[in-house]
Chains A and B, each alone.
Chain A
């Protein structure tokens, strides 16, 4: 996430149609939006992120609020895009062919890759056990960095309901998330046995 950006000013500039405002908003919020879409299982999270911002540009005339509201609004668009994407994929399923060499390119050590894959598998398993509402709330909180109130605005729920969903989701994580023998830390070496 970009630091040193005044989101309130950027939102106002974007509302006036100034390019730097949109550039700052994109640089600040796009990583979180991509992360959220990725965690929700969007196949083309990067492309969807671009579409989210283009849609925001087109609909900025309907937006009225500050930076906090804008964050909720952009995640609301992302959430709706996700629903559309899921519907589209349901109608036209695409077979994805895994490229086993793809991940290796980015990892210096095979151990990192293995531990990373184990951590990913654990996280995915836990996420899949959450209810859709718990998943939406926790992913918006953890990846989007939204507050309880912002999540409530994004999902159209009461803050008390969001709190309850978060509490139950965290309880589910505590119950289902198995502690790893070696927590994933990129670059850290495994202990040599024997």
Chain B
């Protein structure tokens, strides 16, 4: 009986299916045959075309291996290109998104500054101060207007303040510009 543990050549022949036909079928031979029957597909994989297509697509991709990154040797350090101030400005304002972000940032900064100075219109200042207060930022609240509105001191608003002699707004139709 062949000792496959000791004899590499015989084991190689067994693996490659070139064992003598009269060689005894012992446990090792049976195991190798069963394993190969089990795992090695007899037919080409049904996924072969899909895999070959994936390989084809991958070949078309630009590859970034250590030997070629953008056609350069990656081991040689490359200095970052210097950019002029004008280039930086054009980068920042170059796209519509960047412009929108710039406008939003400008609005936020200017609104914040006005809110800090208490210079916003009353309702806006009140809302901003309340929102800022919830996150611990203390902004001036429109005190005078509040005192004018809450005449009872109970915290219940009575009515919007209006100049004496002006009629109250109609409950069904209200215009921000009376008389127009």
The interface of chain A, by Cβ under 8 A from chain B, is: 17, 19, 22-23, 26-27, 30-32, 34-36, 38-39, 46-47, 49-50, 53-54, 57-62, 116, 119-120, 122-123, 126-127, 141-143, 145, 147-148, 163, 166-167, 170-171, 173-174, 177, 179-180, 183-184, 186
Q: Is the CB of B40 within 8 A of A62?
A: no
Query: How many angstroms from the CA of A62 to the CA of B44 in the assembled complex?
Result: 29
Known contacts A62-B67, A147-B12, A173-B31: does B54 contact A50 (CB below 8 Å)?
Answer: yes
In the bound complex, residues from chain B placing their C-beta under 8 Å from that of A32 are: 40
Contact partner, B39, options A39, A147, A173, A174, Cβ 8 Å: A39
Q: Is the CB of B52 within 8 A of A59?
A: no
The 7 tightest CB contacts between A and B, nearest first, are A61-B65, A35-B39, A50-B51, A35-B40, A57-B58, A177-B27, A170-B5
Q: Is the CB of B15 within 8 A of A163?
A: no
Query: How many angstroms from the CA of A62 to the CA of B74 in the assembled complex?
Result: 13
In the bound complex, residues from chain B placing their C-beta under 8 Å from that of A36 are: 39
CB distance from B1 to the nearest CB of A (A): 11
CB distance from B18 to the nearest CB of A (A): 12
In the bound complex, residues from chain B placing their C-beta under 8 Å from that of A143 are: 35-36, 39-40
Total cross-chain contacts (CB, 8 A): 130
Q: Is the CB of A170 within 8 A of B30?
A: no
Known contacts A34-B45, A58-B61: does B16 contact A173 (CB below 8 Å)?
Answer: no
CB distance from B57 to the nearest CB of A (A): 8
Contact partner, A34, options B27, B35, B41, B68, Cβ 8 Å: B41
Q: Does B66 contact A (CB under 8 A)?
A: yes
Sorting the interface of chain B by its residue count into under 10, 10 to 19, 20 to 34 or 35 or more gives 35 or more
Q: Does B106 contact A (CB under 8 A)?
A: no
Contact partner, A46, options B45, B59, B66, Cβ 8 Å: B45
Q: Does B105 contact A (CB under 8 A)?
A: no
Q: Does B177 contact A (CB under 8 A)?
A: no
Q: Is the CB of B59 within 8 A of A22?
A: yes
CB distance from A45 to the nearest CB of B (A): 9
In the bound complex, residues from chain B placing their C-beta under 8 Å from that of A183 are: 25, 30, 33-34
In the bound complex, residues from chain B placing their C-beta under 8 Å from that of A57 are: 55, 58-59
- Chain A residue nearest to B67 (CB atoms) is A61
In the bound complex, residues from chain B placing their C-beta under 8 Å from that of A62 are: 65-67
In the bound complex, residues from chain A placing their C-beta under 8 Å from that of B47 are: 46-47, 49-50
Query: How many angstroms from the CA of A57 to the CA of B59 in the assembled complex?
Result: 6
Q: Does B48 contact A (CB under 8 A)?
A: yes
Contact partner, B37, options A27, A58, A166, A184, Cβ 8 Å: A184
- Chain B residue nearest to A50 (CB atoms) is B51
Known contacts A17-B59, A39-B39, A145-B15: does B31 contact A59 (CB below 8 Å)?
Answer: no
Query: How many angstroms from the CA of A53 to the CA of B34 in the assembled complex?
Result: 27
Known: A39-B38, A116-B38. 4 other contacts (CB 8 A): A26-B55, A57-B55, A58-B65, A61-B67
Q: Does B63 contact A (CB under 8 A)?
A: yes
In the bound complex, residues from chain B placing their C-beta under 8 Å from that of A53 are: 51, 54-55
Query: How many angstroms from the CA of A123 to the CA of B28 in the assembled complex?
Result: 11
Query: How many angstroms from the CA of A27 to the CA of B38 in the assembled complex?
Result: 19
Query: How many angstroms from the CA of A39 to the CA of B41 in the assembled complex?
Result: 12
Q: Is the CB of A54 within 8 A of B41?
A: no
